[in-house]
A and B are shown apart, each in its own frame.
Chain A
């Protein structure tokens, strides 16, 4: 059996000319589903995607990492709980948590299962439990961008309303009252659900960041809204929404030092 991961689109063949050479790792765990889409989003955002393997401790010198969605290790034990102990996470936790080290902390984006892995790894506070209505949800979800100071949201405008797909079973964000107060007080709620709360998440929270703003997790899927023809409906037409691409262009621009 080939160890090559089947991926949508030919992004891996040529490390060729990206806008600024930003190399963004996309981790594949057993049970990861959205690594191909995440890699494609990196490429369309102007970066060079680099496939990272869960059993490999090395991050291969990437400039940022995406933990994509799926059901790592079947979500046995708890969603994201086993993936948190994968060898690749040991290095990632060190480099992402690194206020202590001299180098700049590694930008990390966790999407859906990736967000669950980040909470299990204690890089982000709180946890996800089953949706309050107990059903799998798949919908185009409106979000408000509440923090544009993170590595992954710098190119949004404050309070911008975006639409990206939401699809999960364990998407209800919970945290202690004190933790929620701290997150709100420090402006670390990055994305908030608009309209009816889709899963019972506390304070309508869809995404949060760590204190430094380099680690962001969100339940909805920006990597599924990056290319006209495949995203959510928007004002310009059916399936035209590309709001998710801005997370990827934001991190590439942050890495290039152009924070605009």
Chain B
């Protein structure tokens, strides 16, 4: 069953308190290569049957109007992922 993947990230200019907490904890576990971490969200929208241009457009609308808040977040991508099996 194909899925539409929607990825949402906090806007670059918005401080991401969760990402900041994660990056500051990393050195304690020996992960010292990373200067910043930002935490976003991934949504998987399953579709019965084919992904049409219409369902994709509907996913884009959902991403813009509900799955993200444009004040604090950007929709990074809306794409189709085929089931690997």
Contacts and interface: CB of A to CB of B under 8 A. Distances in A.
Interface in A112-142: 119-120, 125-127, 129-134
A67 B14 CA distance: 27
**Secondary structure dominating the interface of B:** mixed
A77 interface: yes
Contacts of B69: 78, 81, 120, 127
Interface stretch (A52-60, A171-179, A210-218, A240-248): A171-179
B26 to A, nearest CB: 15
A77 B17 CA distance: 17
A125 B69 CA distance: 11
Contact of A132 (B17, B66, B72): B17
Contacts, number: 35
A200 interface: yes
Contacts of A129: 10, 14-15, 17, 72
B66 A81 contact: yes
B67 A174 contact: no
B18 A134 contact: yes
Nearest to B18: A130
B71 to A, nearest CB: 4
Nearest to B70: A127
Interface residues of B, number: 11
A202 B64 CA distance: 24
**Secondary structure dominating the interface of A:** loop
A200 B15 CA distance: 10
Contact of B71 (A77, A126, A130, A131): A126
Bin chain A's interface residue count. Answer: 20 to 34
Contacts of B10: 129
Interface in B10-68: 10, 14-15, 17-18, 21, 66-67
A127 B14 CA distance: 11
Contacts of A134: 17-18, 21
A174 B72 contact: yes
Contacts of B67: 77
B67 to A, nearest CB: 7
B72 A130 contact: no
A77 B67 CA distance: 7
Contacts of A85: 66
A174 B66 contact: no
Contacts of B71: 119, 125-127, 174-176
A13 B21 CA distance: 49
A172 B72 contact: no
Q: Which 5 A-B pairs have the closest CB atoms?
A: A127-B71, A130-B17, A127-B72, A134-B17, A134-B21
17 contacts: A78-B69, A85-B66, A119-B71, A126-B71, A127-B69, A127-B71, A127-B72, A129-B17, A130-B17, A132-B17, A133-B17, A134-B18, A174-B71, A174-B72, A175-B71, A176-B71, A200-B17
Given A127-B71, A130-B17, 18 more contacts: A77-B66, A77-B67, A81-B69, A119-B71, A120-B69, A126-B71, A127-B72, A129-B10, A129-B14, A129-B15, A129-B72, A130-B18, A131-B17, A133-B17, A134-B17, A134-B18, A134-B21, A174-B72
